[in-house]
Amino acid sequence: MLIKVAGSGCSKCQYTIELIDKLARAAGVAVDIDKVTGADEIQRLGATSTPAVFVDGVLVHSGGIPTHEAVAGWFDAEVPGFLKGPTRHLFFTGKGGVGKTSLSTATALRLADAGKKVLLVSTDAASNLDEMLGIELRNIATPVPGVAGLSVLNIDPDNAAESYRQRVLVQMDADATETERATVREQLSGACTTEIASFDEFAALLSGDAGAYDHIVFDTAPTGHTLRLLSLPQAWSGFLAGNDRGASCLGPHSGLKMQEVRFKAALDALSDPGQTTVILVARADKSAIAEAARTSEELRTLGLNNQRLIINGVFHASDPTDAVACAIAALGQQALDAMPQVLQTLPQDQVPLRAFDTVGLPALRALLATHAAPSASAGKASSAADQHLPGLDVLADELAATGHGLIMVMGKGGVGKTTVAAALALGLVERGKTVHLSTTDPAAHLVGTLEGEVPGLRVDRIDPKVETQRYIDRMMASKSPGLNDQEQALLLEDLRSPCTEEVAVFHAFSKIVNEARSAFVVLDTAPTGHSLLLMDAAGAYHRQTLRDFEGHRSGRMTTPLMRLQDATYTRIILVTLPEITPVSQAAALQDDLRRASIEPYAWVINKSVLAAGTHDPLLAARLAGERKQMTRMAGGLAARSFIVPWRTRPPIGLAELSKLVNHQAGKEDA
């Protein structure tokens, strides 16, 4: 919205400008305020007295300072339903890539601009809040420059775990040796400690440690990890209620039992509809809506019944001759029309697709604004610049030529990892290979993506509940012989602690990694943050194995981490969308992998509208950003890149997936 304030520059004019800016931010409306002080220009505009205000060229006020009510009326901002009487705790959750971070941040800004004191918390290990807000995320509340009343906090797993380890070490006896301290530190270096330490900080926010804030807005990790997080208050409360010894799996002197009151308070806060609202975020997309429906039902079983639904990025085509734009709009409407009943009963808001990336305060404030005008059209798109990038058919050829190995598909949630993993697995089978396709993602979309069975392709998942029970059974079988009934009961009690799940999942992951010695294994990984925790577990296991193996000169020792570091054994495929946030997160993931001496094999740019071709004004306005990201990747960020154009038919089912990796069909229907 363009606003011109005409006047001599007196104090009344300046106050008018400040008032407009303040109320525009409170309404979430993006404004560009232009001061006009020249007498000739004021006369040309038609102002007879000053201060005079023009909104998008229309004179709306002349003479004196406008009232608050008048200025608010210019914006005519319809407050989204989820911001009408918001509860103290607001959780944004949903499938990766649906816009949780953008919407949670825009919400926190709106509340802060309205005069509230707000804490924005990220529970995602791969959060990009730092890029959106232009500040460094820390594990302590940090004020956001330019936004009075807003602070941001990142529950960083590594920092949380280190802080937890230090608290445990402080409780050790003063005469403990360095060797004993080192042993305890190593015991507390695994994924179990990382999870419980992160949860401990999360529980503190819910149980009263953030009492200075009016609202706490949680930007959560993708659904599977978030459900795990939200279930922990109940899980740990139940575990501790029958355990007088604390949780031994967390190391000696953990004192976890002392946190029981905090966990109970966190559980009470989550289940209180007067304190907590869970906002399910989805796109107008079949899989995103289906996951939101599953999440809604699972949250109800946890006692979190105060739920709302936001459909983000709703798109309406403006040119009936644009096949790509019309297909995008039609698919979105079909998904909305088929919305499950469990979601239809929820209060719902829709946020339209914007022509801009939600990076920076102006863009974030405009996200929820009524008058967020699209950027100037970028003109008719051309895919000529992208013809040099090969497709998945070429990548499948390269992978098949290696004979066997582990192919790990990684990236931010919502970028299409499952689609790429399923297509590559199918491409390998079509090239005469036998393939095991699995996933570490708790959300597990593989079966729904394939929609069929293929000879030579075995499909399964690492199911946390199944693997946990298998792990418990193995431990009981190996350790319980020789124990009396009471000792066996205590062992079983420890194994039923919530942290056992992380250990069990890692063991299942290690088994799959080893399968690639003689066959192809394609692994669809969980979104970035959860996958990095799995990598941390691999590192901890590697270090422990090296210590245990030290002094044994016979035989050869190979850990899962060593398999991942072997470029002839493991090929990491990073999947991204041609947008600033997914590309930045893929780059950060690449840096994390390199620090672990793991080098990605290639990047896949998925759902490129630029490569598909469109001249819809809104989509065309977004293509300048897509070109910029492709240039960024080509400039050295990605050593090798492959591209998947946005398709008018979703790549779901064997036939459509096959087109992505088939040399002939892959060129059609883009």
Angstrom distance (rounded) from CA 581 to CA 127: 10
Residue 124 known to be catalytic: yes
Angstrom distance (rounded) from CA 290 to CA 338: 10
**Pick from 333, 276, 352, 331: which is nearest to 92 by CA?**
276
The one catalytic residue in 50, 102, 107, 226 is 102
The one catalytic residue in 100, 412, 417, 607 is 100
Pairing of strands 142-143, 150-154: antiparallel
The one catalytic residue in 7, 94, 96, 97 is 97
Residue 571: count other Cβ atoms within 10 Å of its Cβ: 22
Residue 219 known to be catalytic: no
Angstrom distance (rounded) from CA 385 to CA 75: 41
- Chain position carrying tokens 């096959």: 658
437, β-bridge pairs:
459, 522
Q: How would you write 307-352 as a 3-class SS string? A: EEEEEEEECCCCCCCCHHHHHHHHHHHHHHHCCCHHHHCCCEEEEE
Residue 100 known to be catalytic: yes
Angstrom distance (rounded) from CA 519 to CA 515: 7
Angstrom distance (rounded) from CA 609 to CA 578: 9
The one catalytic residue in 99, 224, 411, 529 is 99
CA distances to 10, 280, 654, 656 from 668, in Å: 64, 36, 16, 11
Angstrom distance (rounded) from CA 277 to CA 448: 29
Describe the strand order of the beta sheet including 52-55 as a list of residue ranges: 32-36, 2-6, 52-55, 58-62
Amino acid code (one letter) for 529? G
Angstrom distance (rounded) from CA 161 to CA 254: 12
The one catalytic residue in 113, 124, 156, 386 is 124
**Pick from 537, 534, 650: which is nearest to 589 by CA?**
534
Residue 248 known to be catalytic: no
| Helices 654-661 and 417-430: angle between axes, nearest 10 degrees | 80
Q: How would you write 414-463 as a 3-class SS string? A: CCCHHHHHHHHHHHHHHCCCCEEEEECCCCCCHHHHHCCCCCCEEECCCC
**Pick from 611, 577, 618: which is nearest to 97 by CA?**
577
Angstrom distance (rounded) from CA 148 to CA 145: 8
CA distances to 218, 416, 489, 614, 660 from 652, in Å: 32, 11, 47, 22, 11
Residue 382 known to be catalytic: no
Burial degree of 301 (CB within 10 A; 0-12, 13-18, 19+): exposed
Angstrom distance (rounded) from CA 444 to CA 523: 11
Which residues belong to the active site?
97, 99-102, 124, 581
